[in-house]
Structure 1
Amino acid sequence: MSRLIRNTAILAKTEPVYGVDAVPTGAANAMLVSNLSINPLNAQNVERNNIRPYLGGDEQLVGSRYVEMGFDVELVGAGTLGAVPAWGTLLRACGFAEVVTAGVRVDYVPVSTGFESATIYWYDDGVIHKGLGARGTASLKLTVGEKPVISCKFVCLNGGVAVAAAPTTELEDWQIPEIVLDANSGNLIWGATHATATAPALVGGDFYPSQGLTIELGISTPFQPLLGGESVPITERKVTGAVQLDLTAAQEVAAMAAVLATAKTSLGMVHGTVAGSRVCVFMPGVQRIEPTKEDLNGARMCGYKLLINPVAGNDEIRIVTSF
């Protein structure tokens, strides 16, 4: 009988000690995922290339090896004010600190030291792949007409593969997201300030109709095959994004002037209408580059790529949830 892709369970747990199996469980650490991909053995094979008195191939020796895993999770809060969302472990393994304001909100902010990691168990209908010391990158997709998602890609130390049945998973903590629509999502607000004292609020600024927002966290996580110290370090972070805006002629001309002047501005968005499940994304230093002309059902849209840079350091993006 064929094994089924849908018979998949993914568990993820933050590691207290890097690369040491944190032993995630189905009851406490199950991920609700979609859009799966896995490379169960990315190996740097080595040719033997021996000379023999006849033609023919030779074996390859399996060299340094690691595991790659990718999947999407829904971008929605925990459903309770100030509660950690079920996907928090994943952002922590992408170089973000988790800052909890009890009963109010949870913030995820980038860090440049003290990186955390995760153990990921991937149960594939009878087979378990273990990824240790997992670190990675992600993209945020808040596109009109679609569900909001975090698309994750992890590089992991090879923790082995074995025959194993998937555990019973507890997914009650995963809330149902709201589709990115005008009724559910705040506008993209340019030039606003971000109030951080209590619940997040975007104050002031201008907004234009848009097709939403996509953000690439741009985190580099190369596998380092060192003797006695294999690891997946975080070595760089370059956050980028993209938008498509419905601008008046005057607004397009003003935006072009900002592009030519290398001007930076803030950009923020709040999504969701249910208290405890909302999400806010705020970036204080955004530069628009590479303007394009786009067609949306015959209407003129103006597209821009975004360079999302730090202002004071470790502040280029803030993701706030559960408020």
Structure 2
Amino acid sequence: MKTRKKLLLVAPESEYGAGADLAAAILLVVSELESSPYEGDRVERARIRQTFGAEVEANAAPYTTVTATIPLAGSGTAGTPPNFGLLLRACGMSETIVSDVGSESVTYQPATDEHESACVWFVEDGQLQKVPGARGTIEFSLTAKEYPTMQYTMTGFYQRPEAHTDPVTQTVTDIADELVVNKQNTATFSVHGHEGCGQSMSFSLGNEVVHRALIGCEGVYITDRSVSGQVEIEAPDITTKNYFEAMESHEGVTLGVIELEHGKTAGNIVNIRGPKVQLATLSRNDADGLVHYQMDARYTPDAGDDEIAITFK
């Protein structure tokens, strides 16, 4: 098998864990794709005997993980979800579509309850593994002079891979080409009210994803969430913005907005906004002879399930 001949497809499930028909699946654009086809909790068969040696073990709760790096871009049409929107929803995010003329958008925010699931197919040069009941978590990365990406780690039910010699007939829809992060394409990068020279922004949705296999019960659940990440900017003059004061927490905590907007054409603009973010652990980096501040960021909720919003418009 050739390592580059890989595809990722996804479809919604009408009932959790029931899977879906491959004909209904959406073909996703990926830049990296891997899977761990047979993970699980292993238990050794215990035996006492007169000689040394290993005993057999069984996988008591098999499951599969699929890790995919997907370019961060809009659908190409304002108000239309991007084709990876189902994966966002299967990672515990709600989807809100605004169709009003002139303000069309699709917004994803974390959700605590009623998490959706997806059926995922990992296709690799003549074989296919179907992964029903998949839920997961995401890491976002936007760095100057690079393309923005999302890395999904999806966990679902194990099914044995099968031969698949028929060509995949789906074509890619509802996704624009991603744009490099730079001055021309990235209009806004604000950290606690300061719009300086930005180097990078990254964050993880921080979902706690667990696979449970009990008597008469199996499922993949998102049981907790903690959104966190890092920002790096060119260090401003302390009289312009005092980030030491902003990150201090020994006498009280300062919360502020982190916002980044990338893209310039309707249908391929993404806005990422955290309304109440705590900064911490400032460190200095040398970048082309200039001091940069790299700071950890903790995204805290306001009213609840709103610690970060990702809006495509």
TM-score bucket (shorter structure):
over 0.9
Task: Report what 2:280 is aligned to.
Answer: 289
Counterpart among 261, 269, 272 of residue 263 in structure 2: 272
Q: Which moved more, 1:103-112 or 1:84-93?
A: 103-112
Shift of 1:252: 8.0
Q: Report the CA distance shift for 1:285/1:24 in structure 2 as closer, same or farther (over 3 A).
A: farther
Code of the residue aligned with 1:81 in structure 2: it is A
1:17 maps onto 2:15 in alignment: yes
Shift of 1:253: 6.9
Task: Report what 1:170 is aligned to.
Answer: 171
SS in 1 for 2:212: coil
Task: Give 1:248-267 correspondences, 5 Å limit.
Answer: 248-251=236-239, 254-260=242-248, 261-267=252-258
Task: Report what 2:290 is aligned to.
Answer: 299
Q: For the Cα contact (< 8 Å) 2:81–2:174, is it kept in 1? A: no
Task: Report what 1:312 is aligned to.
Answer: 303
Q: Describe the superposition over 1:146-202 as per-residue Cα deviations: whole angstroms up to 9, x where unpaired.
A: 1111110111111332111352231143311110011100231245xxxxxxxxxxx
Q: Describe the superposition over 1:55-105 as per-residue Cα deviations: whole angstroms up to 9, x where unpaired.
A: 333222232111011011111111111011111011000100111112511
Q: Distance in 2 between matches of 1:7 and 1:281?
A: 33
Q: Which moved more, 1:73-82 or 1:155-164?
A: 155-164
4+ aligned runs moved over 3 Å, structure 1: 52-55
SS in 2 for 1:187: strand
Q: For the Cα contact (< 8 Å) 1:15–1:21, is it kept in 2? A: yes
Task: Report what 1:145 is aligned to.
Answer: 145
Q: Distance in 2 between matches of 1:68 and 1:23?
A: 20
Task: Report what 1:72 is aligned to.
Answer: 69
Task: Report what 1:132 is aligned to.
Answer: 132
Q: Distance in 2 between matches of 1:81 and 1:62?
A: 46
TM-score scaled by structure 2?
0.93
SS in 1 for 2:247: helix
Count residues with an aligned counterpart.
Answer: 306
Task: Give 1:92-241 correspondences, 5 Å limit.
Answer: 92-102=89-99, 104-165=104-165, 166-191=167-192, 205-241=193-229
Code of the residue aligned with 2:221 in structure 1: it is P
Q: Describe the superposition over 1:217-264 as per-residue Cα deviations: whole angstroms up to 9, x where unpaired.
A: 101111111222111111111000101111233158721012114200
Shift of 1:45: 2.0
SS in 2 for 1:186: strand
Q: Describe the superposition over 1:1-31 as per-residue Cα deviations: whole angstroms up to 9, x where unpaired.
A: xx01111111111212111112243x75111
Q: Distance in 2 between matches of 1:68 and 1:142?
A: 24
Code of the residue aligned with 1:142 in structure 2: it is L
Code of the residue aligned with 2:155 in structure 1: it is V
Code of the residue aligned with 1:300 in structure 2: it is V
Task: Report what 2:80 is aligned to.
Answer: 83
Q: For the Cα contact (< 8 Å) 1:214–1:243, is it kept in 2? A: yes
Computed over aligned residues only, the root mean square deviation of the Cα atoms, in angstroms, reads: 1.6
Q: For the Cα contact (< 8 Å) 1:13–1:118, is it kept in 2? A: yes
Consecutive unaligned residues of structure 2, counting only runs of 5 or more, are none
Q: For the Cα contact (< 8 Å) 1:187–1:208, is it kept in 2? A: no
Shift of 1:275: 1.2
